[in-house]
Each structure stands twice: as structure tokens, then as C-alpha cells.
């Protein structure tokens, strides 16, 4: 044991709570340990006495919470002798799989829906050197194909149906409990496959059983209205939303997530694309935090439920910001058409005039 305090990733930190051995070769990029930021302007703007924290998972090594699950899934795949991993993805899982495979020196195969993943995610996946299979079909179709091919080819699935993924992802709840000294009253997340909401609940209940926290939160899952099977009570065949990360109609953790909802006393709800984008912009412009569209569903939903009283005043709320805003520059730029940007001559007088015109 060294005395170094260098942070070496979540498996090292939480190894007593994770299925690893002392001699397991850990594949890590220093994931986890993300900031829990207390919002200072949003509660004032909505005029309610609530404490809202955002867990900025976009600051993980590949820019999303997927790194928490991927460090575990790839570590175990390598331990089991696997030479290749495979996933279907709306973009973030593919970026994380590609990065951790590169780190481990194995091959990543990723199936992504053609034309439906954000540009930053595609750039990452290409750069990390994954074998990219763009399919003429959505995520749900890709997921089915991955399950079928993994039965016949020597590849390890690293989607969240791989139980090690949820093990890694539960550590986000550990970090929150550590920082707040307790679980929050409400934990709000965007929901696609519903793996992450399930993983957080595992983390909170384990903390509670271990006596680290005395309470557990109500878990609240928000979906995009065009891709909201939990609201429909049934699978959705042609999901559509601008929040491409959660453009999923057949959630893989369907039963698990219903259990989370029931056990925690939480609920599911849905947001229109316009509400998602509005929350994304509000967070960026009033707090200086840039998340990707899907992530903003957690905050947008929480704000609505605080306003309508479903989340009472006096509550402590954590919203997970699942991915970094830089992942999807196209959507950001498209919704900032009226940004204060102008092209001027490169002269001192023009710069001065522009400053005076824009002073508030």
C-alpha cells in the first residue's frame, strides 16, 4: 500500500463494494469522483425553497456516466479472458466502450443507429478506434442484434444488461451520500434503458443497509415524450426525440425500474423536446453548466415537479446530468440561433461599439 492520495478511479476507491479480487487487473481512466454542484440561481428563479444539486457526470473521462459502468464491465471482461466487447448504443455507451477497450488493448464493436447519434459521440468512438457498425435501424433493433450475435461469437456484451455495468454505476449514489452526509429526498434521472436509475437505487439501498446513510431517496425518472414506454405502460416501437441518447422504446431494465419506482415511492414522467431544450439552456445560462439534451430532462422534470408541488418545499434534490453538452454541438448551436454573436471588422472602434451595445 502506498500513501499516495492520487485518485485512481472508482473500482480502487470502492473495491470492498464491488465484485473484484485483490489481483484483478483494473482497467480505469480515473472515472467517478464527479462534482456535486449546488444550484444557486435556479431555485431563486422558480421561487421555491428547495436545495437542488446536480451530479455532473459529464465530467467523466469520456464525458458521460457510462464510464462508471464501463470500467467494471471491461475489467471483468478482461479478467474472464475476453478479447472483444460489443454494444448497441445511442452514442455514449459506444464512446465509453471504445475508450476502455483501447485502454485494455481489446477490440470494441459498436452498433449505432445511422444518423441518430450526436457528432461528439461519433468523433470519440472513431478516435478511440472501435469497429463501428452503423445500422439502418434504431437502438432497440441494435440491442436485439447484439444479444443474438453474442450467442454465436466470442464477444462480451457491455450494455447495461451486463450486471457489472450497474455495479459500477451504483457508485454515483455512494459519492452523493458521502458528500451530503445522507441520501437526498429525491433523485431525478433521465431514463432510457433504465439501467442507471436501477444502479442508483442499488447504491442508495446498499449505503442504507451498511449504515452509511439513514435514508433512501424517492427515485424519479423522466423520459422524452416521444420515447416514453414507462408512461405508456408498454414498449414503444418507433421512439423519437431530439435527446438522441434516450431515443429508446424497449428499455432493457423494464422490470427492475418498475421495482425501483415502487420500492422508493417515486414516479416516472415525460417531457416534450421543447421542455428538455429549455432546461438545457436554463442550466447553461443561469448556472454555467453545459449538459447534453437527454441529461437536462432530469432538471427540467424536477423544476416542473417543484413548481407543481409534487416535490415539496424544503426538499433536497439531486439531478443527474448524465452527459456533457459538448457531446452534441449541433443541437446546441441550432437552438442558439439568437446567440449574441456578430461578425465585425477587426478594428478597435467596432469592438468598442459592440461592447457598448451589449452592456447590460
Nearest approach in angstroms of CB 248 to ligand F0G is 6
Contact 190, 267 (CB under 8 A): no
Nearest approach in angstroms of CB 343 to ligand F0G is 33
> Contact between 167 and ligand F0G (CB under 6 A)?
no
> Contact between 294 and ligand F0G (CB under 6 A)?
yes
Nearest approach in angstroms of CB 106 to ligand F0G is 19
SS3 181: coil
Contact 216, 264 (CB under 8 A): yes
- Residue 88: CB atoms within 10 A of its CB come to 29
If the CB atoms of residues 43 and 91 are measured against ligand F0G, the closer one turns out to be: 91
If the CB atoms of residues 43 and 292 are measured against ligand F0G, the closer one turns out to be: 292
Binding residues for ligand F0G, rule CB under 6 A, total 23
Rounded to whole angstroms, the Cα distance separating 53 from 184 reads: 9
Among 71, 213, 280, 295, binds ligand F0G (CB under 6 A): 295
If the CB atoms of residues 43 and 130 are measured against ligand F0G, the closer one turns out to be: 130
> Contact between 196 and ligand F0G (CB under 6 A)?
yes
Rounded to whole angstroms, the Cα distance separating 279 from 143 reads: 29
Q: Residue 265: left if φ>0, alpha if ψ -120 to 50, beta else—which one?
A: left
> Contact between 301 and ligand F0G (CB under 6 A)?
no
Among 28, 156, 160, 264, binds ligand F0G (CB under 6 A): 160
- Residue 25: CB atoms within 10 A of its CB come to 10
* Beta bridge mates, 84: 107
- The sheet with strand 107-113 has its strands ordered as 131-135, 107-113, 84-88, 156-157
Q: Which residues contact 33 (CB under 8 A, 6 or more apart)?
A: 7, 10, 13, 175
Largest CA distance in the chain: 69
If the CB atoms of residues 48 and 219 are measured against ligand F0G, the closer one turns out to be: 219
Among 193, 213, 315, 331, binds ligand F0G (CB under 6 A): 193
> Contact between 302 and ligand F0G (CB under 6 A)?
no
Nearest approach in angstroms of CB 15 to ligand F0G is 23
Within 85-114, the residues that bind ligand F0G by CB under 6 A are 89-93
> Contact between 194 and ligand F0G (CB under 6 A)?
yes
Contact 254, 231 (CB under 8 A): no
> Contact between 62 and ligand F0G (CB under 6 A)?
no
Closest by CA to 248, choosing from 86, 113, 62, is 113
If the CB atoms of residues 48 and 146 are measured against ligand F0G, the closer one turns out to be: 146
Give CA 269 to chain center in angstroms.
17
Residues that bind ligand F0G (CB under 6 A): 64, 66, 89-93, 160, 190-196, 245-246, 248, 292, 294-295, 322-323
Amino acid at each position: 500500500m502506498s500513501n499516495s492520495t492520487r485518485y485512481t478511479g472508482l473500482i480502487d476507491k470502492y473495491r470492498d463494494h464491488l465484485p473484484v479480487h485483490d489481483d484483478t487487473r483494473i482497467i480505469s481512466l480515473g472515472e467517478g469522483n464527479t462534482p456535486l454542484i449546488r444550484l444557486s440561481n435556479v431555485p431563486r428563479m422558480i421561487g421555491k425553497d428547495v436545495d437542488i444539486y446536480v451530479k455532473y457526470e459529464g465530467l467523466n473521462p469520456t464525458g458521460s456516466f457510462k464510464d462508471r459502468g464501463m470500467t467494471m464491465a471491461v475489467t471483468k471482461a478482461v479478467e474472464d479472458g475476453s478479447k472483444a466487447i460489443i454494444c448497441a448504443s445511442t452514442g455514449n455507451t459506444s464512446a465509453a466502450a471504445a475508450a476502455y477497450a483501447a485502454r485494455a488493448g481489446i477490440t470494441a464493436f459498436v452498433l449505432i443507429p445511422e444518423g441518430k447519434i450526436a457528432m461528439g459521440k461519433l468523433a470519440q468512438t472513431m478516435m478511440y478506434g472501435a469497429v463501428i457498425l452503423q445500422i439502418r435501424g434504431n437502438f432497440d433493433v441494435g440491442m436485439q442484434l447484439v444479444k443474438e450475435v453474442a450467442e454465436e461469437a466470442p464477444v462480451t456484451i457491455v450494455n447495461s444488461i451486463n450486471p457489472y455495468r450497474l455495479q459500477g454505476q451504483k457508485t454515483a449514489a455512494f459519492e452523493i451520500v458521502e458528500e451530503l452526509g445522507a441520501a437526498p429526498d429525491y433523485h431525478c434521472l433521465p431514463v432510457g434503458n433504465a439501467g442507471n436509475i436501477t444502479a442508483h437505487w442499488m447504491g442508495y439501498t446498499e449505503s442504507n443497509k451498511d449504515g452509511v446513510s439513514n435514508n433512501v431517496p424517492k427515485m424519479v425518472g423522466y423520459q422524452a415524450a416521444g420515447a416514453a414506454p414507462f408512461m405508456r405502460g408498454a414498449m414503444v416501437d418507433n421512439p423519437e426525440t431530439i435527446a438522441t441518447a434516450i431515443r429508446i422504446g424497449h428499455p432493457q431494465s423494464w422490470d427492475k425500474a418498475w421495482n425501483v419506482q415502487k420500492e422508493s415511492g417515486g414516479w416516472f414522467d415525460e417531457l416534450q423536446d421543447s421542455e428538455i431544450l429549455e432546461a438545457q439552456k436554463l442550466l447553461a445560462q443561469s448556472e454555467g453548466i453545459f449538459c447534453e439534451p437527454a441529461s437536462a430532462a432530469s432538471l427540467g422534470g424536477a423544476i416542473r415537479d417543484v413548481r407543481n408541488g409534487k416535490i415539496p418545499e424544503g426538499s433536497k434534490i439531486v439531478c443527474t446530468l448524465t452527459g456533457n453538452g459538448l457531446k452534441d454541438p449541433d443541437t446546441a448551436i441550432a437552438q442558439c440561433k439568437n446567440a449574441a454573436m456578430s461578425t465585425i471588422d477587426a478594428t478597435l472602434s467596432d469592438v468598442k461599439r459592440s461592447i457598448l451595445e451589449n452592456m447590460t
